[in-house]
Structure 1
Amino acid sequence: MKPFLHIVLLVVVLITSGCWDRKEINDLAFISGAAGDLTASGEFIISFQIAIPSASKKGGGQREKFFVISASGKNATEILQKLQKKSSRMLFTAHRSVIFIGERLAKHGVKDILDIFSHDPKNRLRTYIMVVKGGEGREILQSHYPFEQVPIEAIKEMEGMGSETAVTLRDFFISSSSEGIGPVMGVIAKEEYQKESNANKLKLSGTAIFKDFKQVGILDAQETEGLLWIRSKLKFCRITAELPEGKGNVGALLSHAKRKITSEVNGDKVKLRIELQGRGSLIENNSALDVRKRENIQLVQKVLENAVKQFVEDAVTKIKGQYQTDSLGFGQIVHRNHPRDWKVLKPHWESKLPGVEVAIDVKLTISESGMAGAQLLLKEDEIIR
């Protein structure tokens, strides 16, 4: 009886084992990037950039590395069904790296189009998401970039540099559902580079500010650095500043940036103090100052501190005053430090945000002044020591 039972169990194991639901690579279409746009009539457009595993040759021997498919509809489910019918292989989203949102769609609102990404388990939440300034997302997917075989790879490299806003789907969803902080997205723009080959220059162009899932404005590059510094996400930045009385200008590279925010609540009056600290090196000295002298390097540090304070103040004023949304995370600070007061302030926080008093202190340390004290082309008697 036992040998017969063993044989039966062995047959059952052989029948039920194995990857019954596997998908062969040859049956999959790997999506490297996606885009969302809005038509003039109000329909959504979703586009996929699909990698070509074995690149086919075009005329003249040039090899294509990808192609783009698009479809429109009233919601994402309808569009995805149309897109699948345009592909002979099963669409596979797990390799997607970037999602581009056209500016028209961003201003209209991204809540509905992004809902599909929060429910489909095959979607990667570490996918970058960006707004295309003054254009459509599918334009980026269709463009060619000189340095990389696929433009998506260029975006990943540019985002990793650390001085611009790099936001993933996960980051956007967390900010959207958290108290006291609003979501943002990185911004990219396309510049025509080579018309005949459809090659383009791509550039990171600041930060898109969202309120109620709609884009309400864009910060420029310097304001973006201020936002990132306040949110403790700045890895490095370059700063330039003018010396007093038109005596030239200086430039520094900051490689360490820290921040500390303290809060004070008195009734409905809220005061915040932002202390910014940075350390870096002087990389440009277009003045007659001999920056090896202590008093001169202190002067340089002071003008650089003033420059930092200015662009941080610009970011704060624009976000809390003009856009009236808390992309800076001030509400999180109040919530963390004054939980009882936050319960009272929370329902009307965005309306009270313009009245929040913000004081900014900046302390920089320039530890290196380069190989020369003043410009090498200056004569000895022209150098200020």
Structure 2
Amino acid sequence: MRGGMIVALLIVLAMVCAGCKDRAEINDIAMVMASSIDLKDDGRYVGMIQVAVPARQIGNVSQGRNNYFIETGTGKNAQEVMEQLQGKLSRRLFISHRRVLLIGEKLARKGIKEIMDHFSRNPKTRLRTYVLVVKEQKGSEALKVDYPLEFFPTEAVREMEVLLGRTAVTLRDLLNTASGEGIEPVMGAIELVPGQQIGSEKSKNKLTFKLNHSAIFKNLKLVGYLNNYDSQLMLWVTGKLKRGVMTLQLPEHKGNVGVTLHSTSREIVPEVKGGKVSFTVHLKGTGTLDENNTHLDFSNPNYYYLVEDTLMRVVRKDTQKMIASVQKKYAADIFGFGDQLHKKNNKEWQKLKLKWDKKFAKAVVTVDVDFVLKRAGMSGPPVHLREQEIVK
């Protein structure tokens, strides 16, 4: 009996010791919240990290001292950058909590294949880290931006990605897409624009974040951007649109209406005949009317049908135009048409995949839309109109 107790005690001690092997005390680590990577003129990389200051996360933090500090390092590759950064810190770098990775445009246009190997190979990399391109700027410039609503400024970027439901791409998503067949990566892009913070004279010329573009990649090189509206259509085509907003002009009724998209889906049907490829994209969705800037009385269901028809016509036209533009300008299949052909007709895909860029660029794409507008809130006319102004 006594021998069994000793054995059990030894097992427990072994488990406890094994569990403590890789434990990192908060006082021993430099917790990286965000990082950026850019390309220097001499071909070397420059990386910047945003490191939390734990002592300033507790109690009164309104003493004019930041909750973080930034540090930079340079090197011929990402590992060398990290080693130089470590040489400037009194605590061990801890990247497993990193939330955002920002890539400067210059590096993105040259290509990110080399740095991606570092992130995929390092077991401490947080694969849920959001990856974004900083449009027309260095990634380090975005890392320096102050943002008063969050403890760490770059946390605002992550929250905007989640809240707005835009092109939120993580390292895992990027690696999966890059290694897949028949699809090219696309990720969120932020701009640094003038911001104004009331009550602070020093803040008048400061910059803030604006998330309203998507970055198009081909062979892991940045080739162009989609604006906010086209990004929304692209997400609908790829089946990733969670929520959207559309303003529809009704010229015959001298105004516009605002529609919120709540539920969307898509189906892509590929067809190959005589070596020529075509795709039919079926878009479906439901939404609500959230703004009425016309004189229409939406108690009349016919006006709901009018908005539905207008939305379907506009989305069909604009989506086909957006796809054709991507085909002509970039020949980058960011929609995953090739992936759908791969899944639904692998025999034909094997014949076409080595020349897919050219085939995609010449593919005929047809779009049809089925949309249902659901009534919500007050469905009548605008309350500020007089009776004689209302169109019933």
Deviates more, 1:185-194 or 1:106-115: 185-194
C-alpha distance 154-9 of structure 1, shift in aligned 2 (>3 A): closer
Per the TM alignment, residue 220 of structure 1 is displaced from its structure 2 partner at its CA by: 0.3
Which of 69, 85, 91 does residue 83 from structure 1 map onto?
85
Q: Are the structure 2 counterparts of residues 75 and 296 from structure 1 closer, same or farther at C-alpha, using a change threshold of 3 Å?
A: same
Structure 1 Cα separation of the partners of residues 206 and 68 of structure 2:
14
The aligned residue for residue 150 of structure 1 is 152
Residue 145 of structure 2 is aligned to residue 139 of structure 1 = no
Distance in 1 (CA, whole Å) between partners of 2:56 and 2:13 is 39
Structure 2 Cα separation of the partners of residues 118 and 328 of structure 1: 24
For residue 51 of structure 2, what is the aligned residue in structure 1? Answer: 50
Residue aligned with 2:291, SS: strand
The one-letter code of the counterpart of 1:151 is P
TM-score (norm 1): 0.92
RMSD: 2.7
Structure 1 residue 54 displacement after superposition? 0.6
SS of the residue aligned with 1:185? strand
Q: The residue matched to 2:72 in structure 1 has which SS?
A: strand
Partner of 1:110: 112
Alignment match, 1:33: 34
Describe the superposition over 1:162-216 as per-residue Cα deviations: whole angstroms up to 9, x where unpaired. Answer: 5310000110011111011111111111123257258542111211000111100
Which residue identity is paired with 1:361?
D
For 1:279, the equivalent position in structure 2 comes to: 286
Paired with 2:384 and 2:184, the residues of 1 have a C-alpha distance of 50
Hey, what does 2:226 align to over in structure 1? 219
Shift of 1:33: 0.4
1:174-323 paired onto structure 2 within 5 Å: 174-194=176-196, 196-197=202-203, 200-245=207-252, 247-323=254-330
Does the CA-based 8 Å contact 2:185-2:216 persist in structure 1? yes
| Cα drift, residue 10 of structure 1 | 8.3
Q: Residue 333 of structure 1 aligns with which residue? A: 340
Contact (CA 8 Å) 1:133, 1:187: kept in 2 or not?
yes
* CA pair 288-78 structure 1, distance change in 2 beyond 3 A: same
Which amino acid is the alignment partner of residue 338 of structure 1?
A: N
Listed as ranges, the gaps of 5+ residues in structure 1 are none
Secondary structure in 2 matching 1:161: helix
What secondary structure is seen at the aligned counterpart in 1 of 2:136?
coil
Size of the aligned set, in residue pairs, is 384
Inter-partner Cα distance in structure 2 for 1:171 and 1:322: 24
User: Where does the alignment leave 5 or more consecutive residues of structure 2 unmatched?
Assistant: none
- Please give the TM-score of this superposition, normalised by the length of structure 2: 0.91
Kept in 2, the 8 Å contact 1:242–1:248? The answer is: yes
- Aligned residues of 1:321 and 1:353 also touching (Cα < 8 A): no
Q: Kindly tell me: are residues 294 and 68 of structure 1, through their superposed partners in 2, closer, same or farther at Cα, counting changes over 3 Å?
A: same
Residue range with higher mean Cα deviation, 246-255 or 29-38: 246-255
Distance in 2, matches of 1:15 and 1:290, equals: 74
Shift of 1:115: 1.4
Q: Distance in 2 between matches of 1:383 and 1:9?
A: 83
Change (3 A) 1:179 1:8: closer
SS of 1:282's partner is: strand
Contact 1:252 1:280 in 2 (8 A): yes
For the 8 Å contact 1:106–1:215, the answer to whether it is kept is: yes
Distance 1:60 1:337 in 2: 58
Q: 2: CA distance between counterparts of 1:355 and 1:293?
A: 45
Q: Secondary structure at the match of 1:313?
A: helix
Identity of aligned residues (%): 40
Partners of 1:336 and 1:150 in 2: CA distance: 42
Q: Judge which range, 310-319 or 70-79, deviates more.
A: 310-319
Question: What's the offset of the Cα at 1:301?
Answer: 1.2
**Cα pair 1:146 1:199 within 8 Å, conserved:** no
1:96 counterpart SS class: coil
Change (3 A) 1:52 1:379: same
Q: Is the 8 A contact 1:162 1:234 kept in 2?
A: no
- Counterpart CA distance in 2 for 1:149 and 1:227 is 33
Against the structure 1 CA distance between its residues 161 and 9, is the aligned structure 2 distance closer, same or farther, given a 3 Å change threshold? closer
- Indicate conservation of the 8 Å contact 1:140/1:151, yes or no: no
Query: 2 CA distance for matches of 1:9 and 1:225?
Result: 59
